[in-house]
Amino acid sequence: MVKLLHFADFHLGVELYGKTNAQDGINSRIHDFCARLDELVAYATREQADLVIFAGDAFKNRQPNPTIQREFAHRVSDLAARCPVVLLIGNHDMAQSEHRASSIDIYDTLNVPGVLVGSQYDLYDVETPSGKVFVGTAPYPIRQTLLKDSRAQGKSISELDALLLEALIGELDILGKRAENAQPADAPRVLVGHFSVSGAELGSEQGIMIGRDTIVPISALDTPAWDYVALGHIHKHQNLTGGRQGATPVVYAGSMERIDFGEERQPKGFCWVDLERGKTRWKFVPVRSRPFVTLRIDVRGEIDPMPNILAAIHEAELAEAVVRVILRADVESEKLIRDAPIYAALKDSKASVYTLSKEVERSARSRLGDVPEGLTPHELLERYFVSLNYSPEYVEDLLTYAAPFLQGDAEGG
């Protein structure tokens, strides 16, 4: 049995809902993400991991700054000192041209001991402290890599998408056959991939997606060739074959730190796998990710809304959380809302970062009429987003992001 740790979608460099640390000048969200990776390293060390697999998207973008690269490299080095580490290339790691290096190719270029970079569709023979493991790597599919023949010339976008999916399924089939025929027969096999799979529930990765997505059918992965399929790309942890007797676990580890409020209620962590040929077992290990909390307070019709607003803030568990307060008011109650006491209460709550926005209920004519002079900047921006046919939930998130710019600096601390 091989003890495997599977994580994915780290996206180091995301600074949304952060603030600058006074001691080192680094955004607080960078510290959050690094702290999660420190938890993972400590767990791998304590539980004596035999193999660590990272299923892609190490950084926020393809060109991370040197400080961020250094912080990630420190943790990779700590893991590699313990056991082999496989780093798969995700869409956020890839360069726009196939001839340019990805953000993690440096580990391969420097031949860093114990680190294998999965940049090709290939099967690797990996020696671990508990024995041999065959690792199939399937990086994020891009047309330049998979469609090099004349069939792609003169095709429409939809035709190219179909050809790309056909080529990707072909590569996965080849990898599966190679894994089935690999010797010794009792060595466990794991496939690591970075792409979307049919049936997966999407999350906040949609908001930071780079390029068009290819949806792989679950049947291309749920085969006896593999004992475990370690996936990245979707930020919500999920097992796509859960509840199916004898099925290969096809698992998205999910991201390890929340990126926005779309992930407010999602557990974050990594997967711990007892990898064994034909009888793999696994579990999800949660980490102490930064809490995100939404307080929706309805004060419509209230003669004095402030006591209820302040009471809701004092009663909530907001310490160390990223908090957004959304007040629903009518024209009369809005006039009685005072921002300063609300911000003071949020500061006293020890929230890490907080924003305040207001949803003011007005008559249809006042709100949607042709004359905009009576509208606040918040309402004008809302009208613009509505005119673009965005969903109400997406409009709400956009207005929350815009609130600090519309109302001044709304961050805590």
Residue 196 belongs to what H/E stretch?
Answer: strand 196-197
pLDDT above 90: percentage of residues in the chain: 66
pLDDT at 412 over 60: no
Identify the pLDDT of residue 393: 72
pLDDT of residue 159: 76
Q: Is residue 237 packed enough to be buried (19+ CB in 10 Å), middle (13-18) or exposed (0-12)?
A: buried
Q: What pLDDT score does 151 carry?
A: 64
Predicted pLDDT of residue 365: 44
How far apart are alpha carbons 157 and 367 in whole angstroms?
41
Each residue's pLDDT tens digit, 352-381: 999 999 998 875 444 444 455 567 787 788
Average pLDDT rounded to a whole number, residues 80-90 = 96
Which pLDDT value is given to residue 149?
62
Residue 389 phi, psi dihedral angles, 5° rounding: 65, 30
DSSP state of 322: E
Please determine, for residue 280, whether its predicted confidence score (pLDDT) is greater than 80: yes
Phi, psi of 273 (to 5 degrees): -120, 125
| Digit-coded pLDDT (tens) for 31-42 | 999 999 999 999
pLDDT at 364: 47
At 26, is the pLDDT very low, low, confident or very high (cuts 50, 70, 90)?
very high
Dihedral over Cα of 287, 237, 233, 90: its sign: positive
Res 116: pLDDT = 97
Q: Summarize pLDDT for 6-15 with one digit per residue, the tens.
A: 999 999 999 9
Task: Assess contact for 2 and 188: CB atoms under 8 A.
Answer: yes
Residue 233, pLDDT > 50, answer yes
pLDDT value at 81 more than 60: yes
| Average pLDDT, rounded, for the chain | 88
Residue 231's pLDDT band, with cuts at 50, 70 and 90, is: very high
Would you place residue 267 in the very low, low, confident or very high pLDDT band (cuts 50, 70, 90)?
A: very high
| Interatomic CA distance for residues 54 and 9, integer angstroms | 8
**Is pLDDT larger for residue 246 or for residue 287?**
287
pLDDT for the residue 96: 64
Question: Any idea which of 287-291, 364-368, 384-388 has the lowest mean pLDDT?
Answer: 364-368
Q: Is omega for the bond preceding 267 within 30 degrees of 0, making it cis?
A: no
- What is the reported pTM? 0.82
Question: For residue 12, what is the DSSP state?
Answer: B
Residue 385, pLDDT > 90, answer: no
Q: Tell me the mean pLDDT in the region 174-201.
A: 95
Q: What is the mean pLDDT of residues 129-146?
A: 88
* Pairwise CA distance, residues 313 & 321, whole Å: 12
Strands ordered across the beta sheet of 353-361:
292-298, 322-330, 353-361
pLDDT tens for 310-360 read: 999 999 999 999 999 999 999 999 999 999 999 999 999 999 999 999 998
pLDDT for the residue numbered 147: 65
- Statement: residue 207 has pLDDT above 50: no
* Per-residue pLDDT at 413: 40
